[in-house]
Amino acid sequence: MSDYLLMILAIFGSIIGGFVGSYFKKLGENWAILESLREMTEKVESIKIIYSKDLETVKHQLDYLKSNKLSYNEAKREALLKVHSNLYYLIQCSTGDFKTISSKLKEQIEETINENKHNYQQFILAESNVILFLNNDVYFGLLLNIKAQLSKIFSEQEALKFLSDDSFAFLKHFKDYKILSMEAIQSIEKIMIDYNKISKELIEETYN
């Protein structure tokens, strides 16, 4: 009876021992898996933090570039519009408003000359700003042609200033000036067709 009991206990112990051993072995495997998962999670979180910082850096860089491009385009557009407005005003005022020959004609011519000098300086200043943003031979070629026609008007005005206002030469030169200035303005109007077209295209590009 004692041997039989011992045999039963031995068998039971062997079963229990195998179960417990298997249990702890499985537990160890599960623990190893959990530990591995924990390490992987930490690595993933670490990578997410790194990429999150990189992504934020890239976002700031893109915002900076976008802001700079916007500022550049705004400055370029403002410079083009400045030339446009100054040019139109210069052309409008260039010939003066001499409707009749009067005793104040020479005085009016001198006033127009002074005004043209001021307007021309403003135009040249505006043009110099555009040069910083633009490298377009067609655009600047058209402006050069317009300035050439304006210089003809200004030269004739300067010539009138040095003639006696009651002399026959002054009256004759004044009539010649009126004809020349009209021809120059007509030439400018033709050039302005192409100028307006290219100027509009360049301004529209600054919105892209």
pLDDT of residue 185: 93
Cβ within 8 Å of residue 199, ≥6 positions away: 80, 83, 84, 139
Which residue would you say has higher pLDDT here, 192 or 95? 192
What architecture is the 74-205 domain classified under in CATH?
Up-down Bundle (1.20)
Report helix angle 2-94 to 137-161, nearest 10. Answer: 30
Closest CA to 180 of 204, 156, 208: 156
The region of weakest confidence among 4-18, 28-42, 82-96 is 4-18
What pLDDT digit, counting tens, does each position of 99-142 carry?
666 667 778 888 889 999 999 999 999 999 899 889 999 999 99
The region of weakest confidence among 15-24, 143-152, 178-187 is 15-24
pLDDT at residue 27 is higher than 80: no
Rounded to 5 degrees, what are φ and ψ at 59? -60, -45
Lookup result for tokens 């407005």: 85
Q: Which two three-digit tokens encode residue 61?
A: 């860089």
Which residue would you say has higher pLDDT here, 127 or 45? 127
pLDDT at residue 46 is higher than 90: no
Rounded to 5 degrees, what are φ and ψ at 128? -65, -30
pLDDT of residue 172: 82
pLDDT at residue 85 is higher than 70: yes
- Domains of the chain by residue range: 74-205
Q: Is the dihedral of CA 39, 42, 48, 52 positive or negative?
A: negative
Cβ within 8 Å of residue 207, ≥6 positions away: 73, 77
Q: pTM for the complete prediction?
A: 0.65
pLDDT of residue 192: 95
CA distance 88 to 71: 26
Cβ within 8 Å of residue 198, ≥6 positions away: 136, 138, 139, 142
